[in-house]
Amino acid sequence: MVPPARVLAIGGSDSGGGAGIQADIKTITAMGAYAATAITAVTAQDTHRVHEVLAVPPALVARQMALVLDDIGADAVKTGMLGDAATIEAVCDVLAARMAVPLVVDPVLRATGGGPALLADAALATLRERLLPMTSVITPNLPEAAALTGLVVEDLEGMAAAARALRAMGAHAVLVTGGHLAGGTLTDLLLDASGSEMFSAPRIETRHTHGTGCTLASAIATGLAQRMALRDAVVRARAYLRAAMATAPRFGGGHGPLNHQVQV
């Protein structure tokens, strides 16, 4: 038996099960890989909003990571909610010392439904300076791309400019996701050393979008862990995400969770 690829997911816990570490585990497992975790925060949330956040001390985040990497190992690492500069520093210290595998960064700033910030504004500089140069691919949505680059990101031209800026900051590849674009077509833009490519598809009209960013990034990380080329991992991840949205179980009164059990 060939052992499954291993993905270490680093991020916050979602009590509603739709985003964060819960979405990471479900996605990685559904796509045939083994999920290990390092929890950065415990949140109390539902489909309407994040109600409360309790951060895990950075030293404990680092300890979780180190023990997993030293014993089980990882074929890819994915980060989500990191919370503050001290946690980013702790994560980067462990990664710098222990790994040379693909790193997928979902720069989580806020939850879909709102609530307190999930990354302090003061931590943006640390993310740019320390985490970005380690990043195989970063997957910001439009507001996240704008916050990271200081650019106006409201259309395809803005997405392309932000992707170029993030590559200039050190990220090896950038996938700017276009869920916040107006109109009936959703376009994501991938930029790496070989050039740029746009992926477009009809918008799925649904309010059940909780955890879309976490799910996409974890699906890409799983593909990279399974030795897929980046473009192939992105194509498969987008197909999985769209299927999970289209078959969402329609739980909750707000931004409901996806169907992570879907097969593509």
Which CATH number covers residue 92?
3.40.1190.20
Q: Is residue 263 part of a domain?
A: no
Q: Is residue 253 part of a domain?
A: no
pTM here? Answer: 0.95
Q: Is residue 241 part of a domain?
A: yes
Q: Tell how far CA 165 is from the center of its chain.
A: 19
pLDDT in tens, 201-246: 999 999 999 999 999 999 999 999 999 999 999 999 999 999 999 9
- Pairwise CA distance, residues 171 & 81, whole Å: 18
Q: Is residue 257 part of a domain?
A: no
Q: Is residue 192 part of a domain?
A: yes
Q: Count of domains in the chain?
A: 1
Secondary structure of residue 205 in the 3-state scheme: coil
Residue 223 tokens read as 């593909």
pLDDT in tens, 45-96: 999 989 999 999 999 999 999 999 999 999 999 999 999 999 999 999 999 9
Q: Is residue 251 part of a domain?
A: no
Domain span at residue 124 reads 6-246
Q: Is residue 83 part of a domain?
A: yes
Strand order across the 185-192 sheet: 50-55, 34-45, 6-14, 76-79, 103-105, 137-138, 174-176, 185-192, 195-202
Q: Is residue 122 part of a domain?
A: yes
